[in-house]
C-alpha cells in the first residue's frame, strides 16, 4: 500500500488520548456475521427484490456491501470457506451475468421513469463486476467485459456509467461518480495482467479523464470512494489530490472519534424535510476507517485508532449491527427499510476492524 503524505497525518496526531479511547469495548465478529447473514437471507427472500428466472437484484445497501464485507469475517470465525448465504449471492450474480442478454433490466423504462433501462444496465453491470471480482469468481472476467461494454463512450459523462437515479442518497441520487469509483475498485480486484492489457488501459484512460473532470464538484463521501479506488489503481488520482481528500476527510472527524455521514453529503436534504442525523454513524465511520487503512495509514495512527475505537464501542449488543441513518427520510430503525443503512454500515465496520488485525 502507498503511504499517504505524513504531513497530512501529522497535523492530526497531536491530540491527547482519552481514557474512553484507551478502554474501548470489544466487538463481536460472531454477532456481526449473524446480523449480516440474517439481512442477506431476508433480502434474497424479499418479494420486492425478486427478478426473473429465480434471480434477485443486487442492492447497493445490503447485497453489495455484504459481498464485500462478509469474507473479512472468515478468519475471526475460523471459517474455511464462504458461508451458504455468500455462495447463494455469488451464484445469483453469476447467473445474471451469464443470462445478461436474456434478462430484463432491473427497472425498465416507463412514462414515469424514462431512462431507467440504461440506468439499470449501467448500475447492475458495475455491481455485478464488483461482487464477482472481489470474490474471485470464475465469472468475473465476463462481468468485467459487460461492465466495459456499458461504459459511456460519448457525452459529458464519457468514461463513467449510467447510474440509477431515484433521488435517494448516498447511492441512488446524483451518484454516478460513486458508481464509477466502484467500477475502478472492481478492476482493482482483477489480476495485474488483466489491468495492464491494452484494451483495459484504454477504458481506464477514459475513466481517469472522467475523474479528473468531475472530482472537484463531488460530495466528500464519493471522493472517499475514489480514494479507495486510487489505492487499487494508482494512476487514477494524482498524489496531491489524494492527500487533499485525506485531509478533508480527517477534518470531519468528530470529538468522539467517529464520523457523521451528514458531513459528507454537502447540502443534501431529506424528502420529508426532517433534519439529517448529525451524530457519528457506522457507515461513515466504517467506510472512512477502512479506506484510510487502504491508503497506508496504520491502525495505531491517531485518526484511525480513534475511529476504530468508536466502532468497537458502538456495535449494537442486541443484534450485532452498527447503526446508520437514512439521508432521505426519517425511518424507524427497527423496520427493514430502516435497516438498509445499517446493513452497509455493518459491512464496512467489519472491513475496517478486520483490516486492523
Q: What angle do CA 100, 101, 107 make, to 5 degrees?
A: 70
For 31, 254, 305, the CA distances from 276, given in Å and listed in that order, are: 28, 16, 26
DSSP string, 123-175: HHHHHHHHHHHHTT-TTHHHHHHHHHHHS--SSTTTTS-----SSBTTTBSS-
CATH 1.50.10.20 fits 6-355, yes or no: yes
d(CA 221, CA 226): 9
pLDDT at residue number 319 = 97
pLDDT truncated to tens, each residue of the chain (357 aa)? 444 444 344 444 444 344 444 345 799 999 999 999 999 999 999 999 999 999 999 999 999 999 999 999 999 999 999 999 999 999 999 999 999 999 999 999 987 789 999 999 999 999 999 999 999 999 999 999 999 999 999 999 999 999 999 999 999 988 999 999 999 999 999 999 999 999 999 999 999 999 999 999 999 999 999 999 999 998 999 999 999 999 999 999 999 999 999 999 999 999 999 999 999 999 999 999 999 999 999 999 999 999 999 999 999 999 999 999 999 999 999 999 999 999 999 999 999 999 999
Map 39-66 to HEC letters.
HHHHHHHCHHHEECCCEECCCCCCHHHH
| Structural domain boundaries in the chain | 6-355
The answer to whether 346 touches 58, Cβ cutoff 8 Å, is: no
Going by C-alpha positions, the residue among 245, 147, 153 that lies closest to residue 187 is: 147
**pTM, two decimal places:** 0.93
d(CA 60, CA 178): 11
For 244, 260, 329, the CA distances from 14, given in Å and listed in that order, are: 19, 22, 38
pLDDT at residue number 111 = 78
The answer to whether 108 touches 153, Cβ cutoff 8 Å, is: no
DSSP string, 273-328: -PPPP-S--HHHHHHHHHHHHHTT--TTSHHHHHHHHHHHH-S-TTTS------SS
d(CA 185, CA 177): 13
Per DSSP, the three-state class of 168 is: strand
Q: What angle do CA 297, 353, 138 make, to 5 degrees?
A: 95
d(CA 110, CA 117): 9
Amino acid at each position: 500500500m502507498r503511504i499517504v503524505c505524513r504531513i497530512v497525518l501529522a497535523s492530526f496526531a497531536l491530540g491527547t488520548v482519552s481514557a474512553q479511547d484507551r478502554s474501548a469495548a470489544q466487538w463481536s465478529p460472531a454477532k456481526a456475521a449473524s446480523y449480516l447473514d440474517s439481512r442477506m437471507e431476508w433480502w434474497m427472500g424479499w418479494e420486492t427484490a425478486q427478478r426473473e428466472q429465480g434471480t434477485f437484484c443486487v442492492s447497493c445497501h445490503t447485497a453489495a456491501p455484504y459481498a464485500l464485507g462478509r469474507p473479512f469475517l472468515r478468519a475471526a470465525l475460523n471459517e474455511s470457506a464462504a458461508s451458504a448465504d455468500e455462495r447463494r449471492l455469488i451464484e445469483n450474480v453469476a447467473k445474471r451475468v451469464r443470462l445478461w442478454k436474456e434478462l430484463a433490466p432491473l427497472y425498465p423504462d416507463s412514462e414515469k421513469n424514462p431512462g431507467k433501462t440504461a440506468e439499470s444496465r449501467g448500475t447492475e453491470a458495475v455491481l455485478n463486476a464488483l461482487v464477482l471480482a472481489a470474490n474471485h469468481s470464475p465469472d468475473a472476467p465476463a462481468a468485467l467485459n459487460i461492465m466495459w461494454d456499458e461504459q459511456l463512450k460519448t457525452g459529458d459523462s464519457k468514461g463513467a456509467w449510467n447510474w440509477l437515479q431515484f433521488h435517494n442518497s448516498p447511492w441512488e441520487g446524483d451518484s454516478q461518480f460513486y458508481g464509477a469509483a466502484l467500477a475502478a475498485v472492481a478492476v482493482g480486484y482483477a489480476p495485474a495482467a488483466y489491468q495492464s492489457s491494452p484494451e483495459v488501459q484504454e477504458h481506464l484512460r477514459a475513466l481517469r479523464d472522467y475523474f479528473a473532470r468531475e472530482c472537484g464538484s463531488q460530495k466528500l463521501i464519493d471522493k472517499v470512494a475514489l480514494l479507495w479506488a486510487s489505492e487499487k489503481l494508482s494512476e487514477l488520482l494524482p498524489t496531491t489530490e489524494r492527500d487533499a481528500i485525506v485531509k478533508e476527510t480527517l477534518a470531519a472527524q468528530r470529538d468522539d472519534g467517529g464520523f457523521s455521514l451528514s458531513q459528507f453529503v454537502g447540502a443534501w436534504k431529506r424528502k420529508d424535510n426532517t433534519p439529517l442525523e448529525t451524530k457519528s454513524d457506522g457507515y461513515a465511520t466504517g467506510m472512512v476507517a477502512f479506506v484510510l487503512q487502504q491508503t497506508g495509514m496504520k491502525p495505531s495512527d491517531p485518526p484511525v485508532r480513534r475511529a476504530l475505537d468508536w466502532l468497537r464501542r458502538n456495535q449494537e449488543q442486541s443484534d450485532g449491527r452498527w447503526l446508520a441513518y437514512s439521508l432521505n427520510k426519517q425511518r424507524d430503525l427497527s423496520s427493514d427499510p430502516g435497516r438498509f443503512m445499517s446493513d452497509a454500515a455493518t459491512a464496512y465496520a467489519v472491513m475496517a476492524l478486520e483490516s486492523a488485525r
